[in-house]
């Protein structure tokens, strides 16, 4: 194939004497050896061939000395046996300056300024340079400067932080008729000098009463506006009595420490801490520990403050408090790991016009109760204002209540689970309980209950107890002589765990029904029998039956009739008894 036209043909110089031209060689011609494409450069104004050797890899280039010539018309020609192509570049050498990269950088610095120096090879060319500064936070700043025609150039970089590393590099271009930047110089890392620590440390404390005084655990950390301004940091803690005056005591710590414990008596103390580097001390941070009150040596009566429940969100735990205008700041403290002893106390400081905060920490996990204390500060003295407790996210209770006592009647059962805990050992605030009950052989439909359908479509009766401290419940309207299954579940803001097992009870036979049966059937029957017997006796006593003469034995004699009537002959009558009446009337008769 014939050769392609040379693409991107361009020429430039670093020193206005040696010119280098570059171009892309195009596609493969599939001709090799003596038939491969050949390149040649010529200068039209001088009508001469350019004395350079072409070298090609990714790009082709050719360099030569132009002497005093300033305007050039360079043509590159490529040809093979199948064709010939050309490309031309006309240029003023002073407009095509591509400087060499600056070299041999060095610096002079203070705690906030760096003066950077460098050398360059283009001494006769006026350059415009750009310095790139990499900040500690990863941001990049660019600073421009003009370069006099000297053996070296410089730039002053200000507004820097003390004892901080910066990385700088430089590139330059022609100040007049800018063509392109040079390559970057080698990067140089520079550390500014140390200075006195700026700002104050953020300090806090935990006070523990002990016999005869108190233990004060002091914590400190670098506040957002604090800067160590040095590498060799140490801390100095000082404490002394406020009212009576005493010799100050102090102790120093290396930078790896962020807490210490000191023992004081029940008087008021002033505690301060300062940071120190190789230059000087920072301003002191001060806390006043008030005089202990009562016999216990307690500073704040925590027990008198009711703990309020707070809710967690996906972003943290929301805390709010009632603002008081007398305080110049507020502090919230808590433990990231409440189960640790001692716990890792954390704290956060807020401005006086703040009354709420979202507390977040990478250590917060679901199912752990976190306790927060809110303090107001004025004149370096802290007062406990409110207490809060809450979960980052509540989880269902891990264990079901254990039913310790079951009281049965024929139509009711009373359940009791007095020992079930509702404290911080639970993975959520226990809001109440659900009691589930159902006959073993059928679905449940008891009065005053709600239906609860299990995954196997069986139906339980559900009763809700909304008071977590009420740990006793009576299920009524049961059937006697029936087997029931029951379970008690605690629930939190995270719900409750699925039902896994039941307890079983058998309601006794209802003796009241037996009594009722006796009253309704046996007793009336017995009364009826007695009444029947009594009625016959009464009838016989009060209303005897008059015997029919026709049925009397008296008439069981031989018949002798006068007319239609039977006549008894005295001779035919055999008396059963003979009675002699001695009364006068009988004798008269």
pLDDT in tens, the chain (589 residues): 788 888 899 999 988 889 999 998 877 767 777 878 888 999 888 888 988 888 888 889 999 998 888 899 999 998 888 888 899 999 999 999 999 999 999 999 999 999 999 998 877 788 899 999 999 999 999 999 887 656 788 999 999 999 999 999 999 999 889 999 999 999 999 999 999 999 999 999 999 999 999 999 999 999 999 999 998 899 999 999 998 767 899 999 999 999 999 999 999 999 999 999 999 999 999 999 999 875 433 444 555 688 999 989 989 999 999 999 999 999 999 999 998 887 889 999 999 999 999 999 999 999 999 999 999 999 999 999 999 999 999 999 989 999 987 888 989 999 999 889 999 999 999 999 999 999 998 899 898 899 999 999 999 999 999 999 999 999 999 999 999 999 999 999 999 999 999 999 999 987 655 555 556 666 667 767 777 766 666 566 666 666 655 555 555 555 555 655 666 565 666 666 656 656 555 444 4
Q: What is the DSSP string of 251-317?
A: EEEETT--EEEEEE-SS-EEEEEEEE-SS-BPPPEEEEEPPPBTTTTBSS-GGGSPEEEE-EETTEE
Interatomic CA distance for residues 120 and 127, integer angstroms = 10
Contact (CB, 8 A) for 428 and 494: yes
Contact (CB, 8 A) for 462 and 448: no
Note the pLDDT of residue 220: 96
Domain boundaries defined on the chain? 7-95, 103-191, 201-289, 302-391, 403-507
Interatomic CA distance for residues 377 and 349, integer angstroms = 10
Note the pLDDT of residue 551: 55
Note the pLDDT of residue 586: 47
Residue 393 CB neighbour total at 10 angstroms: 19
Interatomic CA distance for residues 555 and 559, integer angstroms = 9
Note the pLDDT of residue 79: 86
Interatomic CA distance for residues 311 and 244, integer angstroms = 46
Note the pLDDT of residue 244: 74
Interatomic CA distance for residues 353 and 325, integer angstroms = 8
Note the pLDDT of residue 208: 92
Reading the block at residue 484, the tokens are 């029931």
Note the pLDDT of residue 124: 79
Name the fold adopted by 403-507: Immunoglobulin-like (2.60.40)
Note the pLDDT of residue 520: 65
Interatomic CA distance for residues 578 and 120, integer angstroms = 180
Question: If one looks up domain 7-95 in CATH, what number appears?
Answer: 2.60.40.10
Give the H/E segment covering residue 552.
none
Interatomic CA distance for residues 7 and 11, integer angstroms = 13
Quick: pLDDT tens for 433-487: 999 999 998 899 898 899 999 999 999 999 999 999 999 999 999 999 999 999 9
Q: At 209, is the secondary structure helix, strand, or coil?
A: strand
Reading the block at residue 159, the tokens are 């507004």
Interatomic CA distance for residues 277 and 149, integer angstroms = 43
> Is the backbone peptide bond immediately before 342 cis, with ω within 30 degrees of 0?
yes
Note the pLDDT of residue 121: 84
β-bridge pairing 307-310 and 381-391:
parallel
Contacts of 490 (CB under 8 A, 6+ apart): 397, 400, 401, 420, 426, 430, 432, 433, 468, 496
Question: If one looks up domain 201-289 in CATH, what number appears?
Answer: 2.60.40.10
User: In the chain, how many H helices and how many E strands?
Assistant: 3, 40
Interatomic CA distance for residues 430 and 369, integer angstroms = 12
Same fold, 103-191 and 302-391: yes
Note the pLDDT of residue 238: 96
Its CATH architecture, for the domain 103-191, is Sandwich (2.60)
Strand partners, 276: 234, 281
Contact (CB, 8 A) for 268 and 239: no
Note the pLDDT of residue 549: 57
Interatomic CA distance for residues 495 and 428, integer angstroms = 9
Note the pLDDT of residue 120: 85
The single-letter DSSP state of residue 510 is: -
> What is the distance of C-alpha 42 from the center of its chain?
75
Question: If one looks up domain 302-391 in CATH, what number appears?
Answer: 2.60.40.10
Note the pLDDT of residue 430: 96
């Amino acid at each position: 194939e014939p050769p392609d036209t040379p693409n991107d043909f361009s020429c430039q110089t670093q020193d206005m004497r040696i010119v280098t031209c570059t171009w892309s060689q195009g596609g493969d011609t599939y001709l090799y050896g003596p038939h491969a494409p050949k390149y040649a450069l010529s200068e039209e104004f001088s009508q001469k061939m350019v004395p350079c050797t072409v070298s090609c890899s990714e790009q082709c280039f050719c360099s030569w000395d132009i002497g005093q010539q300033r305007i050039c018309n360079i043509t590159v020609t490529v040809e093979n046996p199948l064709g010939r192509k050309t490309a031309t570049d006309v240029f003023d050498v002073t407009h095509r300056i591509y400087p060499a990269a600056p070299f041999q950088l060095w610096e002079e610095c203070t705690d906030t300024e760096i003066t950077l120096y460098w050398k360059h090879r283009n001494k006769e060319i006026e350059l415009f340079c750009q310095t790139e500064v990499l900040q500690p936070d990863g941001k990049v700043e660019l600073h421009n400067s003009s370069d006099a025609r000297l053996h070296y150039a410089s730039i002053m970089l200000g507004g820097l932080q003390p004892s901080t590393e910066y990385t700088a590099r430089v590139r330059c271009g022609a100040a007049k008729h800018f063509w392109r930047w040079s390559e970057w110089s080698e990067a140089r890392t520079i550390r500014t000098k140390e200075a006195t620590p700026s700002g104050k440390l953020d300090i806090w404390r935990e006070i523990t009463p002990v016999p005869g005084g108190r233990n004060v655990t002091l914590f400190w950390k670098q506040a957002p506006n604090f800067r160590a301004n040095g590498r060799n940091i140490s801390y100095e803690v000082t404490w002394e009595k406020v009212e009576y005056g005493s010799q100050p005591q102090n102790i120093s710590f290396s930078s790896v420490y962020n807490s210490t414990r000191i023992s004081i008596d029940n008087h008021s103390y002033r505690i301060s801490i300062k940071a120190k580097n190789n230059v000087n001390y920072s301003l002191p941070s001060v806390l006043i520990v008030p005089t202990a009150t009562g016999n216990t040596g307690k500073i704040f009566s925590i027990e008198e403050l009711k703990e309020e429940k707070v809710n967690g969100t996906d972003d943290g735990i929301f805390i709010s408090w009632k603002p008081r205008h007398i305080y110049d700041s507020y502090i919230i403290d808590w433990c990231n790991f409440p189960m640790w002893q001692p716990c890792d106390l954390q704290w956060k400081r807020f401005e006086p016009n703040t009354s709420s905060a979202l507390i977040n920490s990478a250590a917060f996990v679901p199912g752990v109760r976190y306790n927060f204390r809110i303090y107001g500060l004025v004149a370096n003295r802290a007062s406990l204002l409110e207490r809060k407790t809450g979960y980052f996210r509540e989880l269902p209770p891990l264990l079901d209540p254990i039913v310790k006592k079951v009281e049965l009647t024929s139509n009711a059962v009373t359940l009791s689970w007095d020992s079930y805990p509702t404290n911080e050992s639970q993975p959520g605030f226990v809001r109440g309980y659900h009691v589930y009950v159902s006959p073993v052989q059928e679905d449940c439909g008891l009065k005053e209950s709600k239906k609860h359908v299990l995954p196997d479509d069986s139906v339980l009766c559900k009763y809700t107890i909304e008071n977590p401290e009420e740990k006793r419940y009576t299920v009524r309207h049961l059937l006697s002589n029936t087997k029931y299954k029951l379970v008690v579940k605690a629930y939190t803001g995270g719900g409750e765990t699925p039902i896994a097992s039941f307890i079983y009870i058998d309601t006794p036979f209802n003796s009241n029904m037996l009594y009722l049966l006796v009253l309704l059937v046996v007793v009336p029957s017995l009364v009826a029998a007695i009444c029947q017997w009594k009625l016959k006796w009464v009838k016989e006593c009060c209303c005897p039956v008059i015997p029919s003469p026709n049925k009397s034995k008296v008439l069981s004699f031989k018949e002798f009739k006068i007319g239609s009537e039977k006549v008894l002959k005295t001779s035919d009558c055999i008396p059963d008894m003979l009675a002699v009446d001695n009364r006068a009337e009988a004798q008269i008769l």
